[in-house]
């Protein structure tokens, strides 16, 4: 996910100065059209495509691993926050020993303290 954000920022950093320079050379109406198309084609569309690829590439981890149901799992980075490692379909950094339910509204300390 960080890679998608990084390259989106790079594309924004390139497109904005180019559009700013173009403003002096083309009519205002055409500039708005070119700006809108450029932003969509160069910035938005590639980011959406990369995000879809990221989701499909990590579909197995997100849908069929123990980590996907763990509160220590960061779905946006496919990262175990506890071990700072990327789980895969066949690799769990904790081997299941540190798993904690994601949707638990009651902490285990609350249960034991009464
Ligand atoms: S603590 Fe274990 S189960 Fe939870 S995300 Fe990390 S590796 Fe996966």
Please list the residues that pair with 101 across neighbouring strands. 70
Whether residue 8 is predicted with pLDDT greater than 70 in this model: the reply is yes
99 C-alpha to center of ligand 1: Å? 5
CA-nearest residue for atom 6, ligand 1, is: 80
pLDDT at 94: 92
Task: Quickly tell me which residue has 């960061």 as its tokens.
Answer: 74
pLDDT at 114 (0 to 100): 46
Q: Which residues, in sequence order, are CB contacts of 63 under 8 Å at separation 6+?
A: none
Q: How far is CA 51 from CA 3, 13, 37, 75, in A?
A: 10, 20, 20, 13
Token match 């779905």: residue? 75
Structure confidence by residue, pLDDT tens digits, 70-110: 999 998 888 999 999 999 888 999 998 999 998 755 555 55
Residue to probe by mutation, ligand 1, list 83, 96, 102, most atoms within 8 Å of CB: 83
Q: Give me the chain's average pLDDT, please.
A: 87
21 contacts 40 by C-beta, under 8 angstroms: no
């Amino acid at each position: 996910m960080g890679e998608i954000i990084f390259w989106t920022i790079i594309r924004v950093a390139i497109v904005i100065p180019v559009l700013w320079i173009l403003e002096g050379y083309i009519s205002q109406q055409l500039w708005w059209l070119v700006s809108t198309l450029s932003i969509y084609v160069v910035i938005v569309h590639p980011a959406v495509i990369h995000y879809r690829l990221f989701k499909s590439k990590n579909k197995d981890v997100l849908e069929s691993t123990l980590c996907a149901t763990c509160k220590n799992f960061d779905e946006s980075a496919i990262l175990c926050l506890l071990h700072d490692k990327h789980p895969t379909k066949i690799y769990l950094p904790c081997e299941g020993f540190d798993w904690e339910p994601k949707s638990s509204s009651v902490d285990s300390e609350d249960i034991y303290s009464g």
